[in-house]
Structure 1
């Protein structure tokens, strides 16, 4: 999101400030900035914003015969739509019911769904609010974000638990080759769910050596977008606990 926000900020300030301001003299190099944003692999949205920058700059020079106000409205609409789309990674942990601690959680990964229990979270003795499942789920997602952040800047693999069962555990494996793009895939380990604390997953997450992937359960995304999705998912649990 950072490059998109930079371009949006650049265009807005350029439109709202006098042409003689130093900031706008700096923006005489904006086409070079726009060209640079067209090259990142896998991001069509950045290229779209680069085109918007070029259009607005051309309008300023009187080359398009279009109203600056209409261009600004179009740019704001594009910013809004693109910002919503770029954060939408198909990964979500949710409760199906708040009446039980069995079959009450569902993990969605693309079109794949998996239902599991919150039993071990409900019986976590070290949690600040042992019976407040939304808070515990928010804590779990906070740890997901901490682990995914470790993929910056060069990439690696991290594991995020989603199912704590008697005989095994379910994990999301997040793999990145470049610290920017990632593949998120679901799978299983024979580590039992009762062997580690859902509120302190880091040590176990770094020791997964028997991961067995689930066929057809994977999505590709940007690490930034995955982190934003995890944050939004976590915020929902926090709000439901208040």
Structure 2
């Protein structure tokens, strides 16, 4: 594995963002379809948080460090999301989904880059990529419908986000030897906490609101797919 290979892994998580944003901006998907996609993505991320992010952090550094980083990740997202909601009101969900993509994507992709040095990362890659699609579809569509974003502007914002994810994957890979084990654990647990907060505050409530009670089955399907890959 080299830096080019790490960039390809990063691209594998980032490209779904651009594709999802383009779909969300071009077509108005049925609300139930979008809800099912969000719920499926939530299920994959639940599996990724437990098996690919928090568990290795807990095993490496213990409950104190891993738990503190988990709460830090959740807290950063919750506070930032609250500030956005106070400024934009209920229509802020589109911005919230983009914020969640950044806050959980940066440490996730950093952890992905680090894990590539030991031959891992495939499960996390798939889970993040699957989870990114509905976030981008839903976030871009809501930016268009509730914030009157032009397609070019919204797609540009999501493309910049995607480029950042590729960059941090490569940086994580290149710095893997210099990052102490405790630091890696903190990054992993922080990503897990931010992801859980995104799911609880934004993605899953929106999926349930638009899709109803049956989206629980889509969430279970997403969890099973990601768990099976692990």
Please indicate, yes or no, whether the TM-score normalized by the shorter chain is above 0.5. no
Structure with greater strand share of residues: 1
TM-score, scaled relative to structure 1: 0.29
Question: Radius of gyration: which is bigger?
Answer: 1
TM-score, scaled relative to structure 2: 0.30
Structure with greater helix share of residues: 2
